[in-house]
Amino acid sequence: MKLILDSQRPIYLQIKEGIEEDIVSGQLTEDEQIPSVNQIVNFYNINPVTVLKGINLLVDEGTIYKKRGIGMYVSPGASERLKMKYSKSFFEEYIEPLTRQAKPLGFTIPEINKMIERSWKGEHND
C-alpha cells in the first residue's frame, strides 16, 4: 500500500485500491492475510469507519474474504480478475491521455513506441 494518502480522492477508495495494487503486484498472494483494520487505522491515523468502507467494498467484490474472528484474506483468483479490471482503467487513464497529448504535438506511433521502450528500460529522454 502507498504510504501517503492524497487529499484529492476519497480515502476509502485509496485504501481499497492500495490493497488491490498489492494483490496485483504480488505483494499479497492468494489466501494471504491482509493488514487488519486496526493496523491500517494506526498507520494512517484515519477514521476506522473509512477503513471499513474500503474493506467492505473489497469483500463485496469478492477480492478478499473474511474468516470470522481472525481476519481478511486474499481470495483465490483475485489477482487475475483485478488485472483484467485494471487493463481497462489503465487504457482510459494513461493510454488515452497519452495519445490525446501526442497527436497535436505531431508524434507518430513508431516515435511513441520508441519512447515507451526507452522508458521501459529505465533510460532518460535527454
Partner 1 sequence: MINLENINLNYKDTKALENINIELPEHGICGLLGRNGAGKTSLLSLISGYRQQTSGNLTVNGQQVYENPDILPRIAYIYDNQKDTEGEYKVKDLLRITEVLRPNWDSALANRLVKLFGVKLKKTMSSLSHGQKAAVHVIIGLAGQTPITLYDEAYLGMDAAMRKLFINELLEDYMQRPKLILFSTHYINEMENIFSEALILHEGRVLAYDSCDALREKGAVITGNVDAVDRFTEGKKILSERALGNQKEAVFFCELTESERQSAKKAGLTISQPSLQDLFIYLTEKEGEER
Distance CA 46, CA 35 (A): 15
Region of 40-48, 56-64, 82-90, 109-117 interacting with partner 1 (CB under 8 A): 40-48
Q: Residue 29 or residue 38: which is nearer to partner 1 going by CB?
A: 38
Among 3, 4, 7, 68, binds partner 1 (CB under 8 A): 7
Tell me if 47 contacts partner 1 by CB under 8 A.
yes
Position 9 contacts partner 1 (CB under 8 A): yes
Q: Is residue 28 part of the contact set for partner 1 (CB under 8 A)?
A: no
What is the pattern of x (binds partner 1, CB under 8 A) and - over residues 93-112? Answer: -------x------------
d(CA 91, CA 46): 31
CB of 22 to partner 1, least distance (A): 20
Binding region for partner 1 (CB under 8 A):
5, 7-12, 37-38, 41-42, 44-50, 53, 100
